């Protein structure tokens, strides 16, 4: 099926003015894939409460989640929770709300104890599997559950109490200068997720301002990036239809993209304002971890989703496991953890530009990233060991289905409409090749579009540099520092409650001893020796930091940045 089936091959040519109204066919394409005027965020505010009283036990528990986790009683509370049916969920918003609630429960249960729980009880597993199957999302916390569907927007400052201005924790950028389209949006929209000062989270694990801010910065970024989506689609359409004005349209679109990426980058830098690195590293991040590649911290098989007592019938589906002395049926599953790497917006930018990412993003011996990094763009070098798709492709299955399908469609857009993709990079490559064949210099218009393309890839690489600095500040530096007393004593004070600092160290550093450095050793000691199999994915004597999404993070992120820059060099 052609990726252009939704785009007309005749009829009105795309306008050369990127500010003109949105053509109907692009609007219907966006509607079809649930891309709203807020981009990959919903059009309106996410549901804050399930309307059916039947779900009151969930609502009651999620309301007290941070207190319950802090008091170390969350697992007990879940163990007395009734197993609720999902048949009373009606609207799509209700399914999403249920997904948000159950994902918080799942991670709270797995990570909120003295050691991670290998088993998720039926009160979480059964409805979570049903809800995630309905939404075609994995039964684990994702960017959708933590960010996209987990916020509300309070009224503008004139009519409500907004957050008081806070002194930045570090010298960070000033309030971003938003493009005019956004300022207009801010003025007349009650629901305006571009305005960070008006955003609040619905739920967090820790109840800390740092955790809220961590999620909300992404929300504002998604909203801020929304307006560029139709602009870039128009450019891709002009390219695919080989419109005479494709160069002009694409040059304008690319210049807008640079402005957009910079504005989104300024929001990213506002992370420093209210998210404390130590709180992030020691308190928040452990809750975001997934169940894949987690042998080192006690989840060698992932998590067993307990579905109830095993009947012992022939041909019973799934696995059986003895849980607390009883034979249970269920499924062992392992997933990457919640990660902003699941953002559809950033992948949209990559796909439009034609930036290819080939890293598998983890240090497992079963998937090397080095072979592909030395051979950018060539996925044919995959060995038989590399069964998993590259990180960026894999994490698409953690995105809401319509967004995944939208990205798949965009990935097949490029010159000629043949469905082979390549985005703007391919159009520029072909343009330069044609000029060579004709033994002529590039025209002024051609040089402009090439220049605009290179500049857009550089802007995206600069954005990735900002992100790398954040990763250094929030993960690399805290991982090298001693666990502060404050976080150490939290675990000690609460008998039987996980020392989150130890989980953090254990999760994110894999070395020859599974911990790797000072913080890790301390954490391992306090963690009570529940880590095991620390060699998996590590280097003898070395140390690798891994992301919550399960990547060997620094080499991976640098490779991702370099791939962005390299894409911009076509024809140069
Ligand atoms: C404290 C703030 C942040 C930290 C510590 C952080 C950390 C990380 C880490 C460790 C990865 C590697 C993949 C993984 O294992 O999950 C990653 C990837 C990624 N993150 Fe972040 N991140 C932060 C904020 C953000 C925000 C706000 C966004 C915007 C949506 C974002 C977008 C991405 C993207 C798109 C990737 C995939 C790699 C790429 O395409 O460049 N991150 N991040």
The whole domain housing 316 covers: 53-149+303-333
pLDDT confidence tier of residue 490, bands split at 50, 70 and 90: low
Query: Can you tell me which atom of ligand 1 is nearest the CA of 147?
Result: 30
Q: Is the CB of 560 under 6 A from ligand 1?
A: yes
Please answer whether residues 554 and 443 qualify as being in contact, where contact means their C-beta atoms are separated by less than 8 angstroms.
Answer: no
469 versus 543: which is more confidently predicted?
469
Judged by DSSP in three states, 137 sits in: coil
> Is the Cβ atom of 368 under 6 angstroms away from ligand 1?
no
- Residue-wise pLDDT for 446-468, tens only, equals 999 999 999 999 999 999 999 99
Helices (H), 150-307: 180-188, 209-225, 228-240, 246-269, 271-274, 277-279, 285-288
pLDDT value of residue 315: 59
Are 124 and 236 contained in the same domain? no
What pTM value is reported for the model?
0.83
Mutate which of 339, 355, 356, 398 to test ligand 1's pocket (most atoms within 8 Å of Cβ)?
Answer: 339
Degrees, nearest 5: CA angle 170-173-175: 120
Alpha-carbon gap, residue 387 to 383, rounded angstroms:
8
Mean pLDDT of 208-228: 98
Q: Is 106 exposed, middle or buried (0-12, 13-18, 19+ CB in 10 A)?
A: buried
Find out whether the beta carbon of 359 lies less than 6 Å from any atom of ligand 1: no
> With 90 as the cut, is the pLDDT of residue 265 above it?
yes
In a domain, 434, yes or no: yes
Question: Residue 526: its pLDDT value, please?
Answer: 20
Q: Say how many domains are in the chain.
A: 2
The CATH number assigned to the domain holding 202 equals 1.20.58.480
Confidence of residue 8 (pLDDT cuts 50, 70, 90): very low
Q: Tell me how far the alpha carbon of residue 399 lies from the centroid of ligand 1, in angstroms.
A: 15
The number of the ligand 1 atom at minimal distance from the alpha carbon of 560 is: 41
The answer to whether residue 506 scores a pLDDT higher than 60 is no
Distance 40 CA to ligand 1 centre (A): 17
- Rounded average pLDDT over 163-177: 38
Name the residue with higher pLDDT: 164 or 425.
Answer: 425
**Which CA distances in Å does 410 have to 107, 233, 235, 420, 438?**
33, 8, 12, 10, 31
Predicted pLDDT at 521: 27
- Hey, which residues does 210 pair with through a beta bridge? none
23 found inside a domain: no
Q: Where are the alpha helices (DSSP H) in 330-484?
A: 344-353, 370-373, 391-394, 401-411, 423-437, 444-471, 477-480
pLDDT tens per residue, range 336-390: 999 999 999 999 999 999 999 998 876 332 232 222 222 323 333 334 345 779 9
CB of 185 within 6 A of ligand 1: the answer is no
Same domain, 142 and 117: yes
Q: Looking at the structure, tell me whether residues 217 and 238 fall in a common domain.
A: yes
> What's the mean pLDDT when you consider all of the chain?
81
Could you tell me if residue 40 is inside a domain? no
Res. 3: pLDDT tops 60? no
CA atoms within 13 A on the CB side of 340: 18
Q: Is the CB of 386 under 6 A from ligand 1?
A: no
83 has a pLDDT exceeding 90 = yes
Choose the final residue of a domain: 290, 313, 333.
333
pLDDT at residue number 113: 86
C-beta of 216 in contact with ligand 1 (< 6 A): no
The predicted structure's pLDDT at residue 176? 36
The closest alpha carbon to 411, from 350, 498, 361, 357, belongs to 350
Q: What sign results for the dihedral spanned by CA atoms 405, 410, 412, 413?
A: positive
Pairing of strands 303-309, 119-120: parallel
Residue 285 within any structural domain of the chain: yes
Ligand 1 center–CA 398 separation, angstroms: 14
127 with 251, same domain? no
Lowest mean pLDDT among 71-75, 224-228, 364-368, 414-418: 364-368
Claim to verify: residue 185 and residue 209 sit in the same structural domain: yes
**Is the CB of residue 550 below 6 angstroms from any atom belonging to ligand 1?**
yes
Nearest to 296 by CA among 6, 505, 4, 564: 505
């Amino acid at each position: 099926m052609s990726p252009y089936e939704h785009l007309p091959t005749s009829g009105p040519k795309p306008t050369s003015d990127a500010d003109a109204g949105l053509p109907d066919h692009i609007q219907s394409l966006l509607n079809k894939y649930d891309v709203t005027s807020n981009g990959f965020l919903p059009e309106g505010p996410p549901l804050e409460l399930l309307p059916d009283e039947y779900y009151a036990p969930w609502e009651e528990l999620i309301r007290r989640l941070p207190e319950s986790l802090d008091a170390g009683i969350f697992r007990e509370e879940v163990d007395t929770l009734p197993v609720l049916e999902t048949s009373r969920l009606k609207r799509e918003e209700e399914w999403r709300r249920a997904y948000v609630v159950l994902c918080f429960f799942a991670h709270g249960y797995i990570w909120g104890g003295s050691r991670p729980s290998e088993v998720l009880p039926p009160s979480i597993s059964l409805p979570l599997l049903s809800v995630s199957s309905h939404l075609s999302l994995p039964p684990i916390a994702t960017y959708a559950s933590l960010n996209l569907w987990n916020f509300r927007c309070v009224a503008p400052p004139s009519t409500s109490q907004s957050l008081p201005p806070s002194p930045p924790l570090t010298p960070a950028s000033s309030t971003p200068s938003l493009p005019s389209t956004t300022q207009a949006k801010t003025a007349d929209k009650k629901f305006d997720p571009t305005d960070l000062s008006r955003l609040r989270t619905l739920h967090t694990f820790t109840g800390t301002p740092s955790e809220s801010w961590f999620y909300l910065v992404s929300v504002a970024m998604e909203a801020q990036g929304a307006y560029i989506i139709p602009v870039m689609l128009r450019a891709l359409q002009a390219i695919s239809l080989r419109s005479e004005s494709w160069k002009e349209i694409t040059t304008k679109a690319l210049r807008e993209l640079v402005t957009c990426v910079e504005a989104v980058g300024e929001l990213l830098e506002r992370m420093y304002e209210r998210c404390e690195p130590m709180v992030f590293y020691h308190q928040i991040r452990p809750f975001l971890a997934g169940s894949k590649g987690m042998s080192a911290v006690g989840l060698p098989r992932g998590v067993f989703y307990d579905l109830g007592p095993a009947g012992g019938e022939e041909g019973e589906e799934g696995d059986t496991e003895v849980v607390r002395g009883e034979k249970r049926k269920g499924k062992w599953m392992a997933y990457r953890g919640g990660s902003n790497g699941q953002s559809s917006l950033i992948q949209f930018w990559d796909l439009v530009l034609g930036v290819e990412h080939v890293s598998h993003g983890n240090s497992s011996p079963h998937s090397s990233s080095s072979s592909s990094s030395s051979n950018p763009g060539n996925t044919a070098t995959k060995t038989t060991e590399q069964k998993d798709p590259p990180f960026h492709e894999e994490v698409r299955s953690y995105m809401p289905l319509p967004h995944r399908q939208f990205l798949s469609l965009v990935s097949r857009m490029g010159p000629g409409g043949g469905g082979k993709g390549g985005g703007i990079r391919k159009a520029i490559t072909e343009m330069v090749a044609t000029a060579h064949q004709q033994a002529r210099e590039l025209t002024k218009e051609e040089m402009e579009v090439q220049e605009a393309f290179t500049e857009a890839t550089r802007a995206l690489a600069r954005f990735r540099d900002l992100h790398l600095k954040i990763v250094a500040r929030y993960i690399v530096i805290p991982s090298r520092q001693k666990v502060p007393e404050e976080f150490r004593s939290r675990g000690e004070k609460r008998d039987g409650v996980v020392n989150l600092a130890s989980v953090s160290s254990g999760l994110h550093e894999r070395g020859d001893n599974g911990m790797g450095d000072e913080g890790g050793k301390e954490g391992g000691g306090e963690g009570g020796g529940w880590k095991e199999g620390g060699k998996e994915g590590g280097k003898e004597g070395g140390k690798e930091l891994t992301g919550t999404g399960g990547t060997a993070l620094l080499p991976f992120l640098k490779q991702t940045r370099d791939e962005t820059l390299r894409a911009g060099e076509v024809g140069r």
